[in-house]
Every structure is written in C-alpha cells, then in structure tokens.
Amino acid sequence: MTLRCVLDGLLLPAVVRSKPYASLTAWDGDESFDVEPVEAVYYQMVTATRDELLKLEQARYRMLRPAPDFQLLHR
C-alpha cells in the first residue's frame, strides 16, 4: 500500500498489521510510525490491494480516503 500525506504530498509505503492489534504502519525513510485512525484524515491511499482495503475497514480506518489517482493493485 502507498499513502500520500495531504499536507506535503510525500508518498509513504505502508502496511496494515493485524497482530497483536490492527494498526496502519507507514515508513518515512528508515523510520516507521503507526497512523492512528483519527490521523488518517491527513493521508490518502494511492495504491492498495483488496485485502489491504478489507483490513483497513476491519481496523476502522474510515477517515482514510482514496486519492483521486488511486490504483487498485491485483496481487
């Protein structure tokens, strides 16, 4: 999955982790950070798979929206 920060346009690789609890982790260079569901308003999804979309929904990341140029990946 790829996220775009709406504040600065930075593209960030990200993954939805399901254990021990559901969370969205993004990377800025070598450092990773958890994106809280309420912070998701500052990001857009640029790419994601169907599985990632389902995991995001289950983890309650409802404020994370697809970007205008969103691409669904088929993996």
pLDDT bin (cut points 50, 70, 90) of residue 72 is very high
Note whether 63 and 38 are within 8 A (CB): yes
For the chain, what percent of residues have pLDDT higher than 70?
99
pTM: 0.91
pLDDT of residue 11: 97
Whether residue 41 is predicted with pLDDT greater than 80 in this model: the reply is yes
pLDDT in tens, 42-55: 999 999 999 999 99
Residues recorded for the chain: 75
For 1-75, strand residue ranges (E) read 2-5, 11-17, 23-28, 31-35, 43-49, 65-73
> Which of these, 13, 17, 74, 7, lies nearest to 45 by C-alpha position?
13
pLDDT in tens, 11-26: 999 999 877 777 899 9
